Structure 1
Amino acid sequence: MINIKYIRTFYPHWGEHSGIHQFIRHLPPQKFRCEEKTVPMGCSSLMGRKFDSLFARAVKSRKMKAYRLSDAREESLTFFQSVTNKYDIIHFLDGEHGIMFLPGLLKKMRWVKSKPLLIGMFHQPPHILEELINPDIIRQLDYVSVVAPNQVDYFAQHMPRERIRAILHGIAADHFQPAESNASTDRLRCIAGGVWLRDYKAIFETARLMQGEQGVEFHLIASDLEKPADLDNVFIHRGITDEEYMRLFRESDVLFMPMEAATANNVILEGIACGLPVVSSELSSVRAYLPGKEAVLVKNNEPLVFANILRDLLKNPEKRTEMGKHALLRAKQLSWPNIAEQYDDFYTEILAGR
């Protein structure tokens, strides 16, 4: 039996079926014993205000900008569990947040005969990783896992490539399902969601170019977003339930979501699982997830190009239907059981080679 501890950050905006941790439940229970610890995002006291202040300064000096006191508490607990040989692997699912002291401490404890392998998973694109993480700490990990190929070269600057594993993010394809009705012939309802690295400026400019065109609407799921007052074809949805989220996707005709940068993206994955054709940005990471006929990807997020693509999809519902079929096939390829098999292989391989 392989014992693994997973440490992940709690993101309150995720739905029940969203997030990288979904693969854990698909690992074979006869082979893996999995413990999952969720750490709240943000600060909480460790040992009183004075100690917390000193500790916060120490954290700042180590240049892991997303690390918080709540992460320190969990790392401390995990350290004591590590030296008692409780785990074979400790996998930090949000490496930008959760890793600071544990890798270095375990390296120094040479008298501990059997230490767990430490894996850090990272989600941000390279230019953001440059600002968030300390390469000296990352080098002390046994392995790094990433969710997009564009992250590999960044980490290869700091550690051998054989210690880096790219496994694409998955999707709950058994939960996110398309509507039963066929593509509408007289409307084009576009959907997008989230905030991080989305290019809403491009969406708004595209919506402005298409304002007054009958049947074209832009529905955006984003709590902190304000639309321009002059755009009556844009609708913002805030604080919705999982059921309302699913309904919006099933009532839509295309996922239109330009990105400023990207690695994995839950909204794109959930969109293709709902059978939506995708119009997005020509980025290597987006192309890794959408390599075929399920998407039209545009360089430089040109609003006029986007508008013309959407007009074409409005006039050609059969094209939307065909793209949607390819989207469903891609979603099945990225379903969590398939992704879990890759993690199974990864864990088995690294434990065999230790």
Structure 2
Amino acid sequence: MIAPMPVPLAATTGKPSMLLITARYAHHGAHSGLEPLHAILEQNFAVDVAKPSRTAKAALALDRFSHLIPRLMGQPPQQAGWSPYYTPSASLVEGAAIRQARQKRYDVVFCESIEKFHDRLGLIKQAHPGCRLVGMVHQPPSWWRLNAISAGVLDDFDAVIALSRQSRDHVERELGVRSVAFVNHGVDVTYFRPPEADRAIQDGFDICVVGDWLRDFDLVAQTIERTSAETPSFRWHLVLPTAARTTDAHYRAARYNNVRWYSNISDEALLALYHRCHAMFLPLIDATANNAMMEALSCALPIIVSDVGGVRDYAGEYVDYVGTRDPADVIASLRACVADYPAKRLRAAAGREHARTHLAWTKVGLQMAAIAKSL
């Protein structure tokens, strides 16, 4: 018996069809990360989400159990795929996408994170050559070079979205992708909003440091060490997972009573912290987009940030940049923020308007949808 041809969803919905490859990230709440993008895509496409079957989930659980004894014996687990982010769970999602795309013919398959979910997505195009594959790259060029990822790994994609100009240039020149576009990551400007009350400096100056990926915690520790005696009014709020607090720098920072630690906080608690603090210090080693910076910008919080990677693609003229790893430069910027706080608040308010008009998901999500539609 000849199997019937898959029917494109566009024939029944009037919208082009899309298969979305995504997953929830433990370090992102409902208002951080890419979740707000989904609603924009659903306005423009008939969207299905890649969902692993119960059988596949059970097989993964059995496979994990079968690997338990070798791990207990000290044998390292095997790593599949070209990316260190391509875990067994990611393979499960990718497998579900391939299975669903063979059962239905989609106009577009949108991979939310190429680094996490792509290993065999080219099989979809083998089954349906007319399907277009679009994906986003999140990591900066330094990550790709350190992992020895060379040209050819992205050849299956008809279009790649890069989240900084530097990343776009790397993907185009070093990875050989001809169709690559820079589009800003978005931020939920409705949720991440300025506080109703003014951030007045009273008995102290509260500084938040949010996140752990590609953060220069040695610079954080040195800054805390030097200011704790000289400027005891500084109160530090460090938000990062407990499991990530493993370096000497974390222990050095934890010696001081004016440092408070947060882990697994809710969206509401994170927003309250942005509203409570007078400034954010973001010590970065490298970056494309940075959720913490965009959220703080959207909350009109004055920001001091390392001048690296794609930071200027997002923060523009609305933050103070630190161009070195010298804690003296950070301390000078913090003290200048305290001394001229009304002016810093005015600039941060302009940064909020910049986020609202240039970084809102309602704007950048449409740009991403337009790229997918244009193929």
**Does the alignment reach a TM-score above 0.5?**
yes
1:192 partner amino acid: V
**Does residue 269 of structure 2 align to residue 244 of structure 1?**
yes
**How far has the Cα of 1:180 moved from its partner?**
1.9
1:47–1:295 distance in 2 versus 1, CA, 3 Å: closer
Deviation at 1:323, TM superposition (A): 2.0
Residues 1:233 and 2:250 are matched in the alignment: no
Question: Which residue of structure 1 aligns with residue 200 of structure 2?
Answer: 184
Pair 1:223–1:158, CA change in 2 (3 A): closer
Q: Figure out how many residues of one structure are paired with residues of the other and give that number.
A: 336
The one of 295, 304, 313 equivalent to 2:337 is 313
> Secondary structure of 1:231's match?
coil
- 1:6 aligned residue (15, 20, 34): 20
- State which of 123, 130, 142 in structure 2 corresponds to 1:115: 130
Match of 2:347, SS state, is helix
| Alpha-carbon distance between aligned partners in 1 of 2:215 and 2:372, rounded to the nearest angstrom | 33
Q: Is the 8 A contact 2:300 2:352 kept in 1?
A: yes
Aligned to 2:113: 94
- 1:219 matched residue in structure 2: 237
Q: Which moved more, 1:214-223 or 1:117-126?
A: 214-223
CA contact (8 A) 1:211 1:232 kept: no
**3-state secondary structure, aligned to 2:288:** coil
Structure 1 pair 205/44, CA: closer, same or farther in 2 (3 Å)?
Answer: farther
CA distance in 1, matches of 2:130, 2:97: 12
Q: Which runs of 5+ in 2 are unaligned?
A: 1-14, 68-75
Q: What CA distance in whole angstroms lies between the structure 1 residues aligned with 2:92 and 2:235?
A: 47
Q: Which amino acid aligns with 2:199?
A: A
Matches within 5 A, 1:45-124: 45-46=59-60, 49=63, 60=79, 62-103=81-122, 105-109=123-127, 112=128, 115-124=130-139
Q: Deviation of residue 154 (structure 1)?
A: 1.9
Deviations 1:216-270 (A, max 9, x none): 1111111233442442322111232222111111001111111011111111111
Contact 2:21 2:94 in 1 (8 A): no
Structure 1 residues 131-158: Cα deviation after superposition (integer angstroms, max 9, x where no partner): 4456433112222111111111221123
Q: TM-score, normalised by structure 1?
A: 0.86
- Larger mean CA deviation between 271-280 and 201-210 belongs to 201-210
Q: Which runs of 5+ in 1 are unaligned?
A: none
Are residues 247 and 85 of structure 1, via their aligned partners in 2, closer, same or farther at CA, if it must alter by over 3 Å?
same
Contact preservation (8 Å) 2:164, 2:184: yes
Of the three residues 225, 232, 235, the one matched with 1:208 is: 225
1:37-74 Cα distance to aligned partner (Å, 9 max, x none): 478xxx98449649x88xxx9x8575333212333333
CA distance, structure 1, for counterparts of residue 58 and residue 154 of structure 2: 24
Cα gap change, 1:289 to 1:47, in 2 (>3 Å) = closer
Are the aligned partners of 1:278 and 1:295 in contact in 2 as well (CA < 8 Å)? yes
1:171 aligned residue: 187
State the match for 1:127 in structure 2.
142
- Verify the 8 A CA contact 2:80 2:86 in the aligned structure 1: no
Greater Cα shift, 283-292 or 62-71: 62-71
Identity %: 22
